[in-house]
Each structure stands twice: as structure tokens, then as C-alpha cells.
Amino acid sequence: MVFNEEMIRDSLRERLIGGDIFFLETVDSTNTYTQELIRKGAGGGSVIIADHQSKGKGRFGRSWFSPAGTGLWMSVILKGIGNETSANTVNYVCILSVVEAINDLISIKSEIKWPNDILLNKKKICGVLSEMVSSENEKNLVIAGIGLNINQTLDDFPAELREIATSLRIISGSEYVREEVIIKILKSLEKNYRLAIDEGTDFIFKKWLKQCTTVGKKVRVVTSERHFDGIAEAVKPDGRLVLRDEKNEIKEVTPIDIIQIIEYIS
Ligand code: BT5
């Protein structure tokens, strides 16, 4: 057993999220595995955690580096909140929850880079991949995939990630008990998920926005066809980024259009 499963299960009893937890030693991708589980009947609140992913995935078919023994590679099945923006709301809930958990674990403040990155010291510590799925029983499920670097040293990362990635251990110099990090994140997720249901999407979006440091920055936006520069002026609740480009024209871009966003002047 790689994880202390009992410790995690015991801490999450009687909760909406984490009632059912699947631990895997290795898997291609927890998100892909979760799609199969949903087909077999798994429902909202189930959590899937792997020690290692051989084909961890990011957005646009990019890969997510997921070595054994060091990080958190986890998918959570959540019932969508609201209607057309349900995946968005769940996405905000997840990112916000990881940010709050990290801020509890480390003295340096983490920040959200639109749309889905969490940065510490300007480097990526966490990525979230939320995917909408439906099953025979449930039409509105979201698989929230969370990848968090915990105990990697700089040498553990491949050369191409060393400049852009970081981990809790790299920042603080100490190792973390992964089970404690998992419990903290899942408790934070439960709190914010309930808040989203009780207080509404707008409430969660505003909380998310407070932690998002992209607004106000000069950014280069890269789409599949072209790139353009502008000042990030706002993020709309549906996830669109509002930009003022170099000709002073306002443009709105969705996370789906954007392959990359590079912040180059604060
Ligand atoms: C993401 O994609 O940031 C979403 C990553 C989600 C990973 C989780 S792990 C559990 C679940 N199961 C999965 O299969 N996936 C989810 P994107 O915005 O496309 O960023 C991908 C880019 O981040 C890559 O192209 C690299 O540049 C960089 N990257 C890859 N692995 C990284 C890592 N471990 N730490 C920091 N950056 C990384």
C-alpha cells in the first residue's frame, strides 16, 4: 500500500466528498480511469488517487509529469452546480480549494494564473483539468483532475520543466506527508463546494477572482492560429478573459481558444 489509506478514509467519513476513495499504484491518467468508473456507476463525491500516472494529461493533449512517490495525482467526481456554467463553477471551486490548502501549508502566497494554473514564486505548482461527462444516471457530472507537486526536488523534474515548475518541497525546503495534504485539499474542496451550492456561483467566482493575479497584467495570448498582446482587464464569470489589445480594442477570449498565456510585464 503506497498511501496510508485508512488515515485518509478516517478523516473523511460522513462527508459529501471522499465517501468513496479509490487508490491506485499506477494508472495512465486518473481522469481517463474516472470516465470508466462513471460508466460503471461511480457517482458524485468519489475520489480517485494514483501514486503514478504514465499518461497524465493536461489541456490540448499536453502531458502532465506525474512521477511516483512525490505528488498528488487525483480526480474527483462532482455533480455540476447550476446549468450551462456548471463545469466552470466546479473548476473555480477546485482551484480555489487547492489555493486555500496551499496557503495553509506554506507561508508564501500562491496565485491563480488564468485560467487554471496555480503558481508559487511565479512557477507552476498545480494544474487543474475539469472535464464534463454524463452517465446513464447523471447528466451533469464533472471530473476534476488535480495535479499538485509536493515532494519533488528540482532534480526530479525533466530539464524542460525545471524553469517553469515547482513543488511545496522546493519552496519550503521540507518534505510533506502526502496524506495530510490530500486530507486538507479534500476538506477545503468540501467546504467550497457546499458554499457554491448554498451561496451560488457568483459568490465562488468572486472568491476565485480575489486570488487571480492575471487581471491588470500585460499578457501575450497564444491561440492555435495566432498570438496577440494586451492588458488583461477582467475575467467574466463564464471564464472569458477580457483584454485591451495594442490598438486599444477590447477582445474576449475563452479558455478553449487559448493554448498559452504568457505574462511578460507585471
Ligand atoms: C494542466 O494542463 O495544467 C492540467 C493538469 C492536470 C493534471 C491532473 S493530474 C490528475 C488528473 N489526471 C490527469 O491525467 N490529469 C489531471 P495545461 O494547462 O495544459 O498544462 C500542461 C503543461 O504544464 C505542460 O505542457 C508542461 O509545460 C507543464 N507541466 C507538465 N507537468 C507538470 C508538472 N508536474 N508541474 C508543473 N508543470 C507541469
- Residue 13: the pLDDT is 86
Return averaged pLDDT per consecutive 10 residues of the chain, 266 residues in all: 94 90 98 95 95 96 96 96 76 96 95 95 96 82 96 98 97 97 97 94 94 94 86 93 93 85 70
- Residue 135: the pLDDT is 74
CA distances from 153 to 33, 35, 166, 217 (A): 28, 32, 8, 30
Measure the CA–CA gap between 20 and 161, rounded to whole angstroms.
33
Look up cell 477572482; give the residue: 209
ω into residue 115 within 30 of 0, thus cis?
A: yes
| Strand-pair category, 111-113 with 117-120 | antiparallel
- Residue 84: the pLDDT is 58
The whole-angstrom distance between residue 170's C-alpha and the CA centroid of its chain comes to 20
Distance 63 CA to ligand 1 centre (A): 6
- Residue 83: the pLDDT is 66
- Residue 265: the pLDDT is 61
- Residue 85: the pLDDT is 60
Positions of CATH 3.30.930.10 in the chain: 5-211
Give the three-state DSSP class for 77.
strand
Closest C-alpha to ligand 1, atom 30: 64
Fold of the CATH domain 5-211: BirA Bifunctional Protein; domain 2 (3.30.930)
Fold of the CATH domain 218-264: SH3 type barrels. (2.30.30)
112: DSSP letter? E
Positions of CATH 2.30.30.100 in the chain: 218-264
Distance 198 CA to ligand 1 centre (A): 31
